[in-house]
């Protein structure tokens, strides 16, 4: 992570973000992973009125020791992205809730700008303070 001379992160003054619910962070064209915990699976299954077993069979794949939501095969979009909107937005996983405050986006101003070139909600709206940014980033560490 890029820091200033006194180990202060480059984003110490805060970063602006406003989710526009455009769905671009959930869309392909590359394969990706939406890591989910057993608790998140339970919440999603309840939301969709499915048993955990039925939800897992339909929407979860194993990747090594971890679990990820499946993607639509052709376009590599999240399985819950429909017409550009998340159909489980109110109960979306932590990984989704913490976007764009992921370590890979916070590594440098250039990495933040690269992510912002795809996400129109970055650099607009609410300015998140350093402590909130770090709290969100820490929630997504493996």
- Write down the domain spans for the chain: 1-19+99-142, 28-85
Whether 30 has a pLDDT exceeding 90, the answer reads: no
Band of pLDDT at residue 75, cut at 50, 70 and 90: confident
Q: Report d(CA 97, CA 85) in Å as an integer.
A: 14
Q: Report d(CA 113, CA 100) in Å as an integer.
A: 11
Kindly report, residue by residue over 95-128, the tens digit of the pLDDT. Answer: 999 999 999 999 999 999 999 998 999 999 999 9
Show the CA angle centred on residue 65, arms to residues 111 and 112, nearest 5°: 5
The two three-digit tokens of residue 54, written as one number = 């039925």
Asked whether the beta carbons of 129 and 12 are under 8 A apart, the reply is no
Asked whether the beta carbons of 136 and 98 are under 8 A apart, the reply is yes
Q: Which residue has the tokens 């499915």?
A: 50
pTM of the model: 0.82
Per-residue pLDDT at 5: 52
Q: Report d(CA 24, CA 76) in Å as an integer.
A: 12
């Amino acid at each position: 992570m890029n820091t200033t001379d006194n180990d202060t992160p480059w984003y110490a003054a805060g970063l602006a973000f406003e989710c526009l619910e455009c769905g671009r962070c959930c869309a392909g064209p590359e394969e990706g992973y939406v890591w989910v915990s057993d608790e998140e699976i339970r919440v999603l299954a309840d939301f969709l009125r499915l048993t955990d077993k039925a939800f897992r069979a339909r929407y979860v794949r194993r990747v090594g020791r971890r679990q990820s939501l499946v993607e639509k095969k052709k376009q590599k979009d999240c399985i819950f992205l429909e017409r550009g909107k998340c159909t489980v937005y109110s109960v979306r996983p932590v990984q989704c809730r913490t976007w764009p405050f992921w370590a890979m986006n916070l590594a440098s101003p250039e990495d933040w700008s690269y992510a912002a070139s795809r996400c129109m909600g970055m650099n607009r709206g609410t300015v998140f303070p350093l402590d909130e940014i770090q709290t969100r980033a820490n929630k997504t560490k493996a």
